[in-house]
């Protein structure tokens, strides 16, 4: 599936919500440099009508993305995110093998810094940012880490992992894209939005969504398992 394909995997749909498994490479919002390029709403609205973006995923991140199908649902869901009533779980493929099995990172972050618009750790001027981490699987030179952010700062997971010395695979902004000895591990950011739990804004029932790994993520696991030293 490409960003030009309208058959984006649908995880859930009713008259209030639309939940998709966003492909990597597809931006959530219009590209400021290329407004005509495909993005989530431009591909979905011809099929499902007016949609409201509730939260965002980076272009290079795949996984669970929630959209509202009415302004009322949008307001209710935004309130859940603002009040931290939503549970988000990401799976991150990182470089190196963490010395810890689980860790909570509490490092304030300041966004949009410098000409690259990076997010940086800034104890003095940063906003509170909290991420819970757990190692799911270890490889020779890589690890699969579960990240559950309590806050929603820009690039929060990427920056917190980089601050610990374990940047995401293929993260040119916060990691090191050293020359690879063989085939690349992944051609995009090593981050997948795995799970999302919300309260249905109309029914008030708890809904849990899980996005299967895309093919490139599965291939990356096979590569890192078979190749002790890639980077």
Residue 2 predicted with pLDDT over 50: no
CA dist list (Å): 167 to 4, 7, 92, 156, 176: 30, 32, 9, 12, 8
Please state the domain extents for the chain.
Answer: 10-226
Model pLDDT, residue 33: 73
User: Which whole number is the average pLDDT over 201-224?
Assistant: 95
pLDDT per position as a tens digit, 116-164: 889 999 999 999 999 999 999 999 889 999 999 999 999 999 999 999 9
Helix runs in 105-172, H state only: 156-163
**Structure confidence at residue 1 as a pLDDT band (50, 70, 90):** very low
pLDDT per position as a tens digit, 127-140: 999 999 999 999 98
Torsion of CA 77, 72, 25, 85, to 10 degrees: 0
User: Which whole number is the average pLDDT over 29-44?
Assistant: 87
pTM of the predicted structure, to 2 decimals: 0.91
For residue 169, give the nearest of 144, 147, 200 by alpha carbon.
144
Model pLDDT, residue 180: 40
Residue 215 predicted with pLDDT over 90: yes
For domain 10-226, give the CATH superfamily.
Pseudouridine synthase (3.30.2350.10)
Active-site residue, from 5, 14, 34, 58:
58
Residue 230 predicted with pLDDT over 90: no
Helix runs in the chain, H state only: 40-48, 71-82, 156-163, 215-226
101 catalytic per annotation:
no
User: Which whole number is the average pLDDT over 52-69?
Assistant: 97
């Amino acid at each position: 599936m490409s960003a030009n394909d309208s058959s984006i995997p649908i995880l859930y749909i009713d008259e209030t919500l639309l939940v998709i498994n966003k492909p990597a490479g597809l931006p959530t919002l219009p590209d400021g440099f290329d407004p005509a390029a495909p993005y989530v709403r431009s591909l979905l609205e011809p099929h499902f009508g007016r949609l409201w973006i509730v939260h965002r995923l980076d272009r290079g991140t795949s996984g669970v993305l929630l959209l509202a199908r009415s302004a009322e649902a949008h307001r209710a869901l935004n309130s859940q995110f603002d009040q931290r009533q939503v549970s988000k779980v990401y799976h991150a493929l990182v470089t190196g093998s963490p010395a810890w099995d689980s860790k909570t990172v509490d490092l304030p972050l300041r966004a949009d810094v410098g000409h690259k618009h990076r997010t940086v750790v800034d104890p003095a001027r940063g906003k509170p940012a909290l991420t819970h981490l757990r190692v799911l699987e270890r490889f020779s030179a890589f690890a699969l880490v579960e990240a559950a952010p309590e806050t929603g700062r820009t690039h929060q997971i990427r920056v917190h992992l980089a601050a610990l010395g374990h940047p995401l695979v293929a993260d040119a902004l916060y990691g090191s894209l050293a020359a690879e000895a063989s085939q690349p591990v992944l051609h995009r950011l090593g981050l997948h939005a795995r799970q999302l739990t919300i309260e249905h804004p109309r029914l008030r029932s708890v809904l849990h969504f899980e996005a299967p790994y895309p093919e490139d993520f599965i291939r990356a696991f096979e590569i890192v398992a078979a190749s002790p030293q890639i980077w």
